[in-house]
Structure 1
């Protein structure tokens, strides 16, 4: 496992990789499981940092490097569905459940809450019923800031 830090406008982030894909991207103040890692900006971490730079500069750049979130098969399917959400596009937990044709809004919400790769897997674009801002592992203030940056709010 490899890691490096990224200094975003919303706070310091930690990016992790298995050397081939991004396995984590979270804000420093979030609780994450302890793992043995080596600080090393391996090529995929460098790509992720460049992507985050572009994102925070307002560019709409697709993620073209591999992401490998940990989780159950259902969680991975939910997160894969979220990768199809375009910059500035939002959805609801219920809509994701319907699109997948399985699970409930609550089950989708639990899967989204466990997203280990924030921003790159855009769980901040998932809203509650009636478009309400609901939980975000990075904090609601950051979710709101990300959605404002994308012109949603």
Structure 2
């Protein structure tokens, strides 16, 4: 991404203000200011790493995953015979903070803005699953979407989804 001179000037001023307002991180802001001022291409990439982009399809998949977990929990709670399935297996784990950071950031956005999923997003470790979950959730979603009654799942369907 190329920055115009005007954009660079604006960023330099922003980092100057941030350094004045946040003394604890002033060194970091001064460093970023110097990178922008000098136009150091290699170091600019470091600044860009904090920006992510998540497609509309990815957003929908994250929301569908939350819907699926909501359906799993509601269905489980409505079951009379829960067999050997524990409620712990129905907990949403989140996404890997290293490899799936953009999905984890989107979860934070959803938690702040959508009360519907707040109970699901209160997961251990700040929803850092510490292992990539995207592929696992995709497989689970495929199985869940094939269920005829997605919010009235049987114990067999719940197990099938969890084991996908």
TM over 0.5: no
Higher helix share: 2
Larger radius of gyration: 2
Higher strand share: 1
**TM-score (normalizing by structure 1):** 0.25
**TM-score (normalizing by structure 2):** 0.24
